[in-house]
Amino acid sequence: MQSGYSAHIAPGEWRWVIVFGVGLVLLAFTPFVLMLVGGIAASDWQFMGVLHNYRDGATYLSKMFLGTQGKLMVQFLHTPEPHNPALIQVLYPLLGQIAGFTNISTIVLFHVARVISGVFMYMALYQLGALIWMRQRARRVFFVVAALGAGFGWIYVLVSGGRVDAPDLSIPEAFPFYSTVVNVHFPLTLACLALLAGVVISTFRPGVNSTPQINNGGLTAALASLALALLYPQALVPFGAALAVFLGIGWLRRRRVDRRELSWLLVIALPAVPLAVYYAAVVAFNPAIAEWNRQNVTAAPPPLALLVGLGLTLLLGLPGIVRALRRFEVDGDRFMLLWLAAMLIMMYLPTNIQRRFAVGMMIAIAYFATRSLEDFWFQRINRRWRYRLALAVVPVMFFTQLFVLFTPVLPVLIGRPADSHGLLLDRGYAAAFRWLGDRTALDDVVLVGPAGGVWLPGWAGARVVYGHPYETLQAETRYRQLVDWYSGRAADCAALLDQYSVAYVIRGPDEAVLGESPCFDDLTPVARFGRVSVYAP
C-alpha cells in the first residue's frame, strides 16, 4: 500500500489525536488559570464555578445537586413551586450521583467530565475522518478543520455594535472546540453524531451489503441514537430527516424498498422512539415542563450572521458543496449534503428551538472543506505553499473561538472584575449559600436577587423565587415580583413571602442595587457574611 494510506487508524495516529485533543482541552481551561494569575482568589470576588454561558451552567450544577440527593429525574430548582419531575437532561443528575458517591465537589466533577467528554469527542471526530478517507493527510485536515473551524464572529461583534448572534459566538453546539468550553453534553452529542455519521457513510457506500450486527456498526448506531435521545434529542431530527431522504432517493430510483437499508434505518431510529413519545407526553401533560418548553426560545441567527459565523471554513468548502450538488454521489457527499441542508432548513422553520438544529453543523462543513482542499485547492496551490498557507488559514479559522474563550476573563485581567458580575459574586454570597446548604431542603424557598438566584440552587440545593429566564416558571412575573419587593414597590411585603413559603431572605450589595426595601423591617436577621445578610420571616 502506498505510504501515507491506511484503512485503519495506526497507534501513531491515535497518539497524535490524543496529544492534539488533550492540548485543546487544556487550552479550554487557560482562562481559569488566568483568573488565578489575575488575583481573583485574593480579592473580594468569588468565582462561582462556570465561566462560559454561566446561567445555563448554574442550572447544570443544580441538576447535579439533585443527583447528590439520589434523584435521577429533574425538577427545576430555579423556580419556587414544587412540581412533577421529568426524565430530561439525565446526564447531570447521573454526574451528581457520582459526586455524591465519591464525595467530589459537583463543580470539580463538572469540569472533570468536560475534559473526558472533550477528549472523547476529538477521538470520535478523527474516527469519522478515518472512515471517510484512507489517506492520513485528509483525516488530519478534516480533524483540524472540524475541531478548530469557525467564522468571522469576532469581526461581526465589533462592526455590529456588540451583537453576538453570529453562530460562532452564540451556538456552541455547532462548533466542537466551543462546545468543550461550555458544558458536558454538547461535546458528547457531537461525538455521538460523528460516530453515527461514520456508520451511515461506511454502511451505505457503494459495494457494501452488510446488515446491522454488533461488530459492523449496528450496535454503535443503536447506542449513539439512544445517547442522542437522552443528551440532545433535537440533534436526531435533521440527522434522521437527512437519512430518510437519502434512503428514499435510492428507493425511488430502484422503485423498491431495500430491506437491508430499511433495517439500518430502524436500528438508528427505533432506540429514540420511546424517548420521543415520552418527551411529547411530558410536554403535553406536565405543566411545568410545558411552561419551560414555552419559555425556552432559541431563535436562529439572521442569514447574513449565519454566513459570517461560518466564515472562511464555509468558503473553503464551497467547491466541495458545488461538486456534491452536481454529482450527488452516494459515497459520503449525498448524505453530508442532505444533513447540512436539513440543518439549515430546520433552523428557519417557525419553531422555538431553531438554533438547536444547528448542532453538528461544523462536522458537515468540515467534510466539504476537506473534500475541497484535497480535490480542488491543493490541486491549484504549489506544494511549497500549502503548509505556509495553512499556517495563515488555521489561525484565521480559529480566532473567533479564541475570542470567545478569553472574553469572560478580560475584565479580571485588566483589574475590573465588577464587569464580570454574574459569573463573579461578592464572597459573602458564597459563604451565605454554604450556610443555607446546611439548613435548607430541596423544597425550601429563598428570596435572593437575580444574580444570586442563578447560583444558589446549585450551591445550596434550595429553590429561589427567580433565577433563570427559562427554568423559572412564569419567569417574567416572578422577576417583576422580586424587583418590586426589593425596590420597595410591593404593596404588601408579606404577600410574596407567604405565596411561596419563603424560608430565608438574602440582602447584599446586589439586592441593594434594586433599592432599599422597607420590607426588611419585619424580618429577623439570622446570619451575616461580610456585606451579605440572611434574614428569616
At 466-485, the pLDDT tens digits run 999 999 999 999 999 999 99
What would the mean pLDDT of 361-365 be, rounded to a whole number?
97
CB 48 within 8 A of CB 59: no
Contacts of 81 (CB under 8 A, 6+ apart): 473, 500
For position 5, what pLDDT does the model report? 47
State the Cα–Cα distance between residues 142 and 393, nearest whole angstrom. 14
* Cell 504549489 found at: 382
State the Cα–Cα distance between residues 438 and 426, nearest whole angstrom. 20
At 243-302, the pLDDT tens digits run 999 999 999 999 999 999 999 999 999 999 999 999 999 999 999 999 999 999 999 999
What would the mean pLDDT of 316-324 be, rounded to a whole number?
95
CB 457 within 8 A of CB 537: no
Answer yes or no: is pLDDT of 68 > 70.
yes
Q: SS3 for 500?
A: coil
What's the chain's average pLDDT? 94
What would the mean pLDDT of 493-507 be, rounded to a whole number?
96
Confidence of residue 338 (pLDDT cuts 50, 70, 90): very high
Query: Could you tell me which of 183, 176, 200 has the C-alpha nearest to residue 121?
Result: 176
What pTM was estimated for this model as a whole?
0.96
DSSP assignment of 71-129 equals --SB--TTSSS----B--STHHHHHHHHHHHHT--HHHHHHHHHHHHHHHHHHHHHHHH
* Half-sphere exposure (Cβ direction) of 509: Cα atoms closer than 13 Å: 14
Helices first, then strands: H and E counts in the chain:
26, 7
What would the mean pLDDT of 143-170 be, rounded to a whole number?
94
Identity of the amino acid at 244: A
CB 465 within 8 A of CB 511: no
For position 6, what pLDDT does the model report? 53
Answer yes or no: is pLDDT of 96 > 50.
yes
For position 310, what pLDDT does the model report? 95
Beta carbons within 10 angstroms of residue 158's beta carbon: 12
Answer yes or no: is pLDDT of 242 > 50.
yes
What would the mean pLDDT of 164-170 be, rounded to a whole number?
94
Answer yes or no: is pLDDT of 4 > 60.
no
What would the mean pLDDT of 174-202 be, rounded to a whole number?
97
For position 207, what pLDDT does the model report? 84
What would the mean pLDDT of 398-407 be, rounded to a whole number?
95
For position 1, what pLDDT does the model report? 35
Confidence of residue 152 (pLDDT cuts 50, 70, 90): very high
DSSP assignment of 308-333 equals HHHHHHHHHHHHHHHHHHHH--TTTH
Return the minimum-mean-pLDDT range out of 47-61, 64-78, 332-346, 410-424. Answer: 410-424
Q: What percent of the chain has pLDDT over 70?
A: 99
State the Cα–Cα distance between residues 201 and 211, nearest whole angstrom. 14
Sign of CA dihedral 449, 455, 458, 460: negative
Task: Report the length, in residues, of the chain.
Answer: 537
- 250: which 3 cell numbers? 435510492
For position 7, what pLDDT does the model report? 60
Which domains, ranges and CATH numbers included, belong to the chain?
11-47+105-408 (no CATH), 426-536 (3.40.50.12610)
